[in-house]
Amino acid sequence: MVKIIFLGSGGGRYICVNQKRATGGFIVDKYHIDPGPGALLRALEKNIDPKKLKGVFVSHRHIDHCNDASLMVDAMTNSLNRKKGVFIGSKNCSDLLYPEEKNFLEGYYLLEKNDKVSLGDMNVEAVETRHMEETGIGFKFYTEWGIISYTSDTEYFSGLKAHEGARILILNVTRPRKYRIPFHLSTEDAVELIATVKPELAVIIHLGMRMHPIAEKEKKFIEEETDTKTIIGDLGTVITMEKDINISKI
C-alpha cells in the first residue's frame, strides 16, 4: 500500500500569507513534497512525526513550495543528530539547505527534466514544467502499486503528456475558468490534461485566491467534463493506493 497525506490545498503568495488554505505540501509514502509555509506545524497538527520521514522534495525554489524545506530536513534528521534521508530538488535549490544539513543526509540530488533516482522502495523521475522559475520540475513516482504523478507549477503544454500512465494525478490548478495566467494551470487546462493522462483519480491543489471561494464548483466541472473522479487535496486528506484507491480524512 502507498499512502498520500495532504497538508494543504493552497498556493500562491496571497494564500500563503493569509492561510485561507493550508500550504504544507503533501507526503507520498514518507517523502514530504513541496513543504511550503506551515508544513511542519500542519504535520504535527495531524500527528505526523517528521522524524519518520525518508526524504524531502522541492519542485522549485518559490516560497510556497520550499519555505519549510530546511526545517523538515532538520526534523527528519532529529535536529542533525542522525544521518538519514534524502533531499531531491530542482537545480535552483542548490543553496536551499545549510551545509551541515546536507552533511546529515544519506543522499542529495538536484534534478533536471528526465533525470531519474532510485530510492529503493520507489523510483522517481523529474518531469518538465513551463514556469517562471525555469529550473522547476514535476515528479513522477513509480511505486509497487502504480504511478503517482505531480505537475508542480506549470502552464499547459504538450510535454505534460509525460504524466501518462499515472493512476493518481496531482495537479497544481491555481486559477478557475476564464482567469488563466501565464505559467500556471487553470480549470480548463486541468480538464485537457486529465483527459490526456486518464488517471483513475485526479487531485487538485495549489489553489489561488480566485480559485479558493469557488473550488468545489470548479472541481465538479472538472469531474463532469473528464468523467474522472476528482477531489481537492485539502488539509488532512488521505489517499491509499493498492489494488483499489481509497480516500479518507485525518
**Fold classification of 2-249 (topology level):** Metallo-beta-lactamase; Chain A (3.60.15)
Question: In this structure, what C-alpha cell is assigned to residue 12?
Answer: 500562491
DSSP state of 10: B
Question: In this structure, what C-alpha cell is assigned to residue 55?
Answer: 526524504
The CA dihedral of 203, 206, 210, 214, to the nearest 10 degrees, is 30
Which pLDDT score is estimated for 200?
98
Cβ atoms of 133 and 154 within 8 Å: the answer is no
The ranges of the chain with pLDDT < 70 are none
Residue 132 phi/psi, 5-degree rounding, is -65, -25
Burial of 183 by CB count in 10 Å (0-12 exposed, 13-18 middle, 19+ buried)?
middle
Domain ranges in the chain are 2-249
Which pLDDT score is estimated for 121?
87
Which pLDDT score is estimated for 175?
98
Matching residue, cell 511542519: 40
Q: In 67-126, where does DSSP find H-type helix? A: 69-76, 99-103
Question: In this structure, what C-alpha cell is assigned to residue 188?
Answer: 480548463
Cβ atoms of 208 and 175 within 8 Å: the answer is yes
